[in-house]
Amino acid sequence: DTEVTQTPKHLVMGMTNKKSLKCEQHMGHRAMYWYKQKAKKPPELMFVYSYEKLSINESVPSRFSPECPNSSLLNLHLHALQPEDSALYLCASSQGSGLEAFFGQGTRLTVV
């Protein structure tokens, strides 16, 4: 199984809502990542988890809260988002020692 599965595929939420994005991989990868991609822009790194511990936060606002419950799962909790946070959110995983990452298909988030 070489897949990274993200749910949901699409999400529409209001600015006062709380929602979560989920990501799962069963490749035994030690590192997992969240990226944000705005339309017609390249993906931007948000968070890196290594061995279930948050190791890198690229100065992401606190309304985005990552969580890694176990080595296969990665969540991104969303609260009080703004319309400009609308984007494609991509999850990825890798062995951690290299840059051959596997990406999910992303969650397309719309904040209204």
Partner 1 sequence: DAKTTQPTSMDCAEGRAANLPCNHSTISGNEYVYWYRQIHSQGPQYIIHGLKNNETNEMASLIITEDRKSSTLILPHATLRDTAVYYCIVSLDRGSTLGRLYFGRGTQLTVWP
Chain contacts with partner 1 (rule: CB under 8 A): 4, 31, 33, 42-45, 48, 50, 55-56, 88, 90, 92, 94-106
- State the minimum distance, in angstroms, from the CB of residue 80 to partner 1: 27
Query: What's the min distance (Å) between Cβ of 47 and partner 1?
Result: 11
3-state secondary structure the chain: CCCEEEECCEEEECCCCEEEEEEEECCCCCEEEEEEECCCCCCEEEEEEECCEEEEECCCCCCEEEEEEECCEEEEEEECCCHHHCEEEEEEEECCCCCCCEECCCEEEEEC
Instruction: Between 68 and 94, name the residue whose CB sits nearer to partner 1.
Output: 94
